[in-house]
Structure 1
Amino acid sequence: MKKNIFLTAVVLFLGILACSDDFTTNPPENVEDLETFFQTEDNVEAAVVGIYDLMHLNYSKDWHSAFLVKLLPGDDANAAGGNSSDQPQLQDIDDYANISTANGSIENVWNNFYSTIALANLVIESLKESTLSNAGRATAEAKFIRAWCYFELTTMFGDVPLRLTLPQGAADFGLAKSPRADIYTQVEEDLAEAIANLPEKTALADAFRFSKGAAEALMGKVLVFQEKYSESIPYFQSVIGNGAHDLEPNINDVWSIGSEFGIESLVEIGFVSNTARDWGNIAWGGRNESNLHIQLMGPRGDGIFDVTGTGLLNGWGFNLPTSKLAAAFDAAGDTQRKAATLLTEAELVAAGGGVDPTSATGGVIWDYEGAIRIKYASRAEETSDGGVRELNYSTNFRIFRYAEVLLLAAEAYNKVGQDGNARTELNKIRNRAGLADVSMSLAGTDLFDAIVEEKFLELAHEGQRFWDLVRWGRAATELSGTGYAPKNDLFPIPITEIDKNPEISISDQNPGY
């Protein structure tokens, strides 16, 4: 069952963004005194749900979601849309060359992660001496989410300010960047405490909340990103050995509404469609209970894509598959997972639909390379008849799932010379996709290459591909000819942060920007 986790009361008492004018000039009004707020279990619960709410906002905010911002630099997806000027800040991320320090989508992601961290810090600080029965779990949830946010930030931006306490006023708001190593240290510390205090997935009363298994999986991922492979393995083993976690048996169910918060999901952003959004009440600032991004990423209408026979509805045309991705599925003989990820033009025509480039601007379908996306597709059955159908999708985003854990474990085993174990975890992914086991003789670098390719196919359009290429040192090779340059390994620190944070200057900007 879905739960509407949007909150109004809790987030109103927090006017803290990464470095926001709201904090320095607009004191909050009509809010409860923080000296007494955290003295009841109900208020603690409300505050924690508020952190989830802010995390939800960051992955679903109009044109500026972390979901799209993380995904678009990869070679599995194109920004697409109507033309090269449609949401130019997203086109720039996709095309690398013109990413500005004032890019609105990157700035929104930065600010929203820090606003989420700020509320997490408030909860953590306020519950240090608490004797309330739910204080321990609330603190663990806040630390898990803080760890998640800092891991995302350091992956995308490198060295970032490490704020662990609440500023007491504008005078102490300035904070210098901390080295990535320090960010990782704090993330590990937060996750260790989360692991010790979060419940198992089977004990969750609210499915949207994060479990001990999610924290263990994230700890393993953080360690792999630091090349601490042997340290990561026990965390992966704990998750893999826990019967609460497994692969969905059918690949087609992984991203469907019917398997929301299912056995494969570790971190999931939930959506509902019971608010009947229409063109008059849709919140373009991103505070919607429905998943507007499904419409945003659906095959473009306007006579361009005819989706007759596919079960899809038309959308606004963003996030189209690359021909490289389609070719990789074909080269692997991967028909089942391909069908769950994309639909080629030939397959669209065979279903009864078609493509008409003459309906597009200048007779060219921008960023179209011969396929439309099926993963997180605009399925008719996943939107409500209430309100306007295209504004009421309730499809959840699975932003961390068990399949990735198996692939990370395979990588870790391979890197420490345990290739038999690596093949075991890799084969679980392959078998679910209808593919045979890899050869028993596959080992070393060749096995690692197979893991890399499997991850490309399994996690396509999920926002992981580019950041893996960067950490593996493969971005320059895989993205050759796309406009990529080494500076693109990190996003620029938003100019608004540099302007407002007195402890960060232009000289602290990431190289090349």
Structure 2
Amino acid sequence: MKTYIKTTLTILISGMLFSSCEDQLNQANPNQATEDTFWKDETDFNLAFTSSSTPLKNALNGGYYGTRGVMLRIARADEVDFRNDISDVYTVNRFTNSNTNSLTQGMFYQFYNALYRTNSIMQKLEEKKEQFSTDFQNSVKGECLFIRGFYLLQLAKEFKDAPLRLTASQSPSTFPLAKSSQADIWAQAKEDLKTAASLLPITNKIGKPTQGAAYAALGKIYVYEENWQEAINVLEPLTQNP
């Protein structure tokens, strides 16, 4: 009987100890943001927007204004030549590029990396809009539409026809997406940039887009489309104050 009681007490105490330890150890990592712990306040949305600009300057992995991104763009011009020791840039320079080129793959990836981030921000803002003021919502939306429109401008310029992703999803079933035409991508970019211009401020804040930046990108699309009069209408006012 004593043995039975001792055994029973041992099991009960062990269960209490293990249960207690498990409760203490099963906690969210405060140093790792998740969907449940992020997107709480204005600071989180501002941090997320900052991250959406990162792919533009990624130095060696396809960032549009990074080292290799600049090389890929100027390699197709007439005023510069490249040695063949940077083979991925050299094949672009010689117009013998293929879809196995790691640098062009990197640029393609960086565009969609950024589109995913801006789409995510706008989706989360829509979900939580009751928590934020109208001014803050307009500010975030204007910034996101500017950066998305800017990426779409460059995507269609560099790759012509490409998938047009306007939502963020981590579901593999949504990954396959047919290409849209260059004209359709630029049409979406123009829509984004026009809306952004209506929401962004005229005055500059460091690290933030302005109304003038949105109109400048919009005017550039009109130039590529050879729509000269619209380009003049949009760009000429930018030569004057404010």
The TM-score, its normalising length taken from structure 1, stands at: 0.38
In structure 2, C-alpha distance between the alignment counterparts of 1:136 and 1:68, rounded to whole Å: 36
Q: How many equivalent pairs are there?
A: 204
Give 1:48 shift: 0.7
What residue number does 1:227 align with? 226
In structure 1, C-alpha distance between the alignment counterparts of 2:240 and 2:150, rounded to whole Å: 23
Change (3 A) 1:95 1:168: closer
Give 1:167 shift: 2.1
The match for 1:68 among 68, 71, 74 is 71
Give 1:215 shift: 0.8
Give 1:60 shift: 5.4
Deviations 1:196-247 (A, max 9, x none): 11122xx3331x332111111111111121222222222112211224xxxx
* AA of the residue aligned to 2:57: H
**Mapped contact 1:216–1:238 kept (Cα < 8 A):** no
Give 1:169 shift: 0.6
What residue number does 1:311 align with? none
Give 1:50 shift: 0.8
* AA of the residue aligned to 1:235: V
What residue number does 1:40 align with? 41
1:22-101 equivalences in 2 (<5 Å) = 31-35=32-36, 37-57=38-58, 58-59=63-64, 61=66, 65-80=68-83, 84=84, 86-96=85-95, 98-101=96-99
* AA of the residue aligned to 2:39: F
What residue number does 2:108 align with? 110
* AA of the residue aligned to 1:120: T
**Mapped contact 2:55–2:110 kept (Cα < 8 A):** yes
* AA of the residue aligned to 1:232: A
What residue number does 1:148 align with? 150
1:162-241 equivalences in 2 (<5 Å) = 162-200=164-202, 203-206=203-206, 208-241=207-240
In structure 1, C-alpha distance between the alignment counterparts of 2:100 and 2:183, rounded to whole Å: 27
Change (3 A) 1:176 1:104: same
Give 1:150 shift: 1.2
Give 1:118 shift: 0.7
The match for 1:135 among 125, 134, 137 is 137
Give 1:168 shift: 4.3
**Mapped contact 2:142–2:199 kept (Cα < 8 A):** yes
The TM-score, its normalising length taken from structure 2, stands at: 0.78
Deviations 1:283-312 (A, max 9, x none): xxxxxxxxxxxxxxxxxxxxxxxxxxxxxx
Deviations 1:373-402 (A, max 9, x none): xxxxxxxxxxxxxxxxxxxxxxxxxxxxxx
**Mapped contact 1:151–1:184 kept (Cα < 8 A):** yes
In structure 2, C-alpha distance between the alignment counterparts of 1:124 and 1:92, rounded to whole Å: 38
Deviations 1:471-497 (A, max 9, x none): xxxxxxxxxxxxxxxxxxxxxxxxxxx
Does residue 157 of the first structure (1) align with residue 189 of the second (2)?
no
**Mapped contact 1:44–1:135 kept (Cα < 8 A):** no
- The structure richer in strand per residue is 1
Change (3 A) 1:44 1:67: same
In structure 2, C-alpha distance between the alignment counterparts of 1:227 and 1:204, rounded to whole Å: 29
In structure 2, C-alpha distance between the alignment counterparts of 1:52 and 1:156, rounded to whole Å: 18
Secondary structure of the residue aligned to 2:235 is helix
**Mapped contact 2:222–2:228 kept (Cα < 8 A):** yes
Give 1:38 shift: 2.3
Runs (4+) of structure 1 moved beyond 3 Å?
Answer: 59-62
What residue number does 1:314 align with? none
- RMSD in angstroms over aligned alpha carbons? 1.9
* AA of the residue aligned to 1:44: F
* AA of the residue aligned to 1:238: P
Secondary structure of the residue aligned to 2:226 is coil
1:453-472 equivalences in 2 (<5 Å) = none
In structure 2, C-alpha distance between the alignment counterparts of 1:152 and 1:205, rounded to whole Å: 24
Deviations 1:166-210 (A, max 9, x none): 12411221111011121011001100111011122xx3331x332
Give 1:43 shift: 0.4
**Mapped contact 1:60–1:66 kept (Cα < 8 A):** yes
Give 1:35 shift: 4.9
In structure 2, C-alpha distance between the alignment counterparts of 1:41 and 1:210, rounded to whole Å: 17
In structure 1, C-alpha distance between the alignment counterparts of 2:208 and 2:45, rounded to whole Å: 15
Q: Which protein has the larger Cα radius of gyration, Structure 1 or Structure 2?
A: 2
Higher relative contact order (CA 8 A, sep 6+): 1
In structure 2, C-alpha distance between the alignment counterparts of 1:188 and 1:59, rounded to whole Å: 20
**% identical aligned pairs:** 26
What residue number does 2:10 align with? none
Secondary structure of the residue aligned to 1:79 is coil
Deviations 1:289-347 (A, max 9, x none): xxxxxxxxxxxxxxxxxxxxxxxxxxxxxxxxxxxxxxxxxxxxxxxxxxxxxxxxxxx
**Mapped contact 1:123–1:142 kept (Cα < 8 A):** yes
In structure 1, C-alpha distance between the alignment counterparts of 2:92 and 2:50, rounded to whole Å: 31
Secondary structure of the residue aligned to 1:141 is helix
Give 1:42 shift: 0.5
* AA of the residue aligned to 1:53: T
In structure 1, C-alpha distance between the alignment counterparts of 2:191 and 2:65, rounded to whole Å: 28
Unaligned segments of structure 2, at least 5 residues: 1-30
1:367-378 equivalences in 2 (<5 Å) = none
